[in-house]
Amino acid sequence: MTSVDIQIAMQSIFNTVFQRHDIVVHPGLSAADIPGWDSFQQVSLIMATEEHFKITFADAEIDAVKTVGDLLTAVVRKVGVEA
């Protein structure tokens, strides 16, 4: 899996969780940028990400996620990335 594969998968996860297709996933995207991204959506996003990639985040990892870039970095650490 490459970092591009991960970003494409994250776009799909965002589309599903937020039930929208107009959100463009990029590293600087945060909850402040998307109306309705509240704590419930954050939990849904984390759970969907864990399920999709077959990984589990520790509480400290979840607490550190402030942007999509943070989430992408956490996923890359868990699944590894091919060049």
Q: Give the pLDDT of residue 65.
A: 94
CATH topology of domain 3-79: 1.10.1200
4-24 pLDDT, tens per residue? 899 999 999 999 999 999 999
With a cut of 80, say whether residue 71 has pLDDT above it: yes
Q: Are 6 and 81 in contact (CB under 8 A)?
A: yes
Q: Where exactly are the structural domains of the chain?
A: 3-79
